[in-house]
């Protein structure tokens, strides 16, 4: 017997849900679970800094932080169709807060404004990118309305990364291997349906992941000179947290195994490593094993360090 199925209805007038942009929609988006929905859509881990952040005589709706890069992100909301005024404000806010990402959320993106955002991405360097998203509210029968973000324009960061490296110098064989390795690792992680949000891969020996705090993040590392794989907790400029972790060294190493504790002036690290005969192998089975080891250690590090981060934050 076939079950009765409902029909999806799109609520076209967003003001039925949020009557005012500032007091309703912006406040809604600033809530942790809703900002997480946006983060999941664009693949960037966002953390709220504040709403209505000042830039001269104007206020950006939301100022956030990219937890992977620790850089500013501005979010401009418009629960109507795009217009020139909001496009100008988006650029002004991005400049005023030295943002790495500018996100414009609208009801409907007009073609001319979508092309303008595409132009901005094409003519900006790899240090800044622009997102244009439409928000829809969906409903089936009398169900609770459900928001959905749809990406209209996004920064082509992978192409920018390659372009930037090529402008300074041709990518070396090692850099090409690194880019290929991390690109395939990203695909592997996404296929595993993990809790990690993946950044755009870059031609470098590390690949960073947020664990929900700006205090520290985890990174996967591949070192072709030493034929070594590693995962690390990277702690930029926070000696108190590193010292706090050292008081829990026994329980940390009970879970992770023996770690390399590095206390440097710029940043501190806690590393777990694995030496192999060859890294970044072209052999599919070997590469799959490398990915499996890296992901398992990243997940274990997140499990071990997330509660300690929360405990440390409560003491501040």
Q: Where are the domains of the chain?
A: 8-155, 160-315
How many other CB atoms sit within 10 Å of the CB of residue 110? Answer: 13
Which residue in 237, 298, 250 sits closest to 271, CA to CA?
298
| Number of CB atoms found within 10 A of residue 8's CB | 11
Burial state string for 131-146 with b = 16 or more CB within 10 A and e = fewer than 16: bbbbbbbebeeeeeee
pLDDT truncated to tens, each residue of the chain (316 aa)? 667 777 888 888 999 999 998 889 999 999 888 998 898 888 787 888 889 888 877 789 999 988 777 789 999 999 999 999 999 999 999 999 999 999 999 999 999 999 999 999 988 877 789 999 999 999 888 888 899 999 999 887 644 554 555 544 567 888 888 989 999 999 999 998 888 888 778 888 889 888 888 788 899 999 887 788 899 999 887 889 999 999 999 999 999 999 999 887 667 888 888 777 777 878 888 889 999 999 999 999 999 999 999 999 888 6
CATH class of 8-155: alpha beta
Exposure pattern of 202-228 as b/e (b: 16+ CB <10 Å)? bbebbbbbbbbbbbbbbbbbbeeeeee
The topology (CATH level 3) of 160-315 is: Yope Regulator; Chain: A, (3.30.1460)
Cα 301-47-272 angle, rounded to 5 deg: 15
| C-alpha–C-alpha distance, residues 241 and 218, integer Å | 15
3-state SS assignment for residue 285 = helix
Are β-strands 46-55 and 101-108 bridged in parallel, bridged antiparallel, or unpaired?
Answer: unpaired
Q: Give residues with Cβ within 8 angstroms of 77, minimum separation 6.
A: 21, 25, 26, 29, 61, 62, 105
Q: What is the pLDDT of residue 166?
A: 52
Structure tokens at 13: 């007038």
């Amino acid at each position: 017997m076939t079950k009765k199925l409902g029909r999806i209805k799109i609520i076209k007038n967003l003001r039925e849900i949020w009557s005012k942009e500032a007091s309703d929609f912006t406040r809604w988006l600033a809530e942790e679970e809703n900002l997480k929905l946006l983060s999941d859509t664009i693949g960037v881990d966002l953390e709220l800094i504040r709403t209505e952040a000042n830039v001269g005589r104007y206020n950006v709706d939301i100022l956030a932080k990219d937890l992977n890069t620790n850089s500013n992100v501005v979010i401009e909301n418009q629960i109507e169709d795009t217009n020139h005024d909001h496009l100008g404000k988006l650029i002004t806010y991005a400049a005023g807060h030295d943002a790495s990402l500018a996100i414009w959320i609208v009801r409907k993106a007009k073609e001319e404004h979508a092309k303008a955002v595409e132009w901005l991405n094409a003519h900006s360097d790899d240090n800044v990118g622009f997102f244009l998203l439409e928000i829809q509210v969906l409903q089936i029968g009398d169900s609770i309305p459900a928001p959905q973000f749809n990406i209209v324009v996004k920064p082509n960061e992978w192409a920018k990364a390659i372009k930037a490296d090529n402008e300074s110098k041709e990518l070396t064989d090692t850099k090409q291997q690194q880019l290929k390795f991390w690109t395939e690792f990203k695909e592997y992680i996404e296929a595993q349906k993990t809790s990690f949000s993946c950044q755009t891969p870059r031609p470098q020996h590390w690949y960073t992941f947020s664990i929900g705090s700006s205090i520290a993040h985890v990174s996967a590392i591949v070192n072709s000179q030493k034929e070594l794989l590693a995962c690390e907790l990277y702690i930029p400029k926070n000696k108190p947290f590193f010292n706090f972790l050292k008081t829990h060294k026994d329980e940390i190493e009970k879970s992770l195994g023996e770690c390399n504790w590095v206390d440097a002036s710029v940043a501190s690290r806690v590393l777990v490593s694995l030496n192999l005969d060859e890294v970044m192998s072209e052999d599919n089975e070997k590469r799959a094993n490398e990915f499996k080891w890296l992901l398992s250690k990243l997940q274990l590090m997140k499990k071990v360090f997330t509660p300690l981060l929360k405990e440390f934050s409560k003491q501040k």
